[in-house]
Amino acid sequence: MDTEINNEIDALRTKFHNDKIENMIKNTNDEEIINILKKEIINNEPKIIVEPIKKVENIFNETQYNINFKKPWGRLPDIHKIKKVQEYINSLEDCNNKPEIIKQLTNAINHRILSKNNFVTYNINEQKIVSIKNLKNNNGIYKI
């Protein structure tokens, strides 16, 4: 009985591993990686090839990142707007009240105040906030 269960588990692991590799093959154009991954499926052994898998995962993550953030400000989901606001505020070197202003801006996003394009200047190509309307600096203390 235990042998049957172990065989079943091994078969599921192999199938899961091969499905993951096939998905990686679909999401890359790098022929070297594709060939290595195909060889792994042919060998039917779920061994980990760390470098190619990490390279494919990095390409996939970068592509996902671009898909998620290459939209006009008004079309970004709130969670992505909050992430971009955090990046913007953290990039301000002279800001002495970063946690407070991030909290205020997050509340403004949640209450749909900063959801429109006319309040935030967002560079789609660089995927960065350029400026936030009504965000004022008074000697390192930012307020909205």
pLDDT digits (tens, 9 = 90+) for 108-117: 988 888 888 8
110 in Cβ contact with 78 (< 8 Å): yes
Instruction: Note the pLDDT of residue 9.
Output: 74
Report residue 15 as tokens: 């199938």
Below-50 pLDDT ranges, the chain? none
pLDDT digits (tens, 9 = 90+) for 1-27: 577 777 777 777 777 777 776 777 777
Q: Cα separation of 123 and 57, whole Å?
A: 26
82 burial type by CB count under 10 A (0-12 exposed, 13-18 middle, 19+ buried):
middle
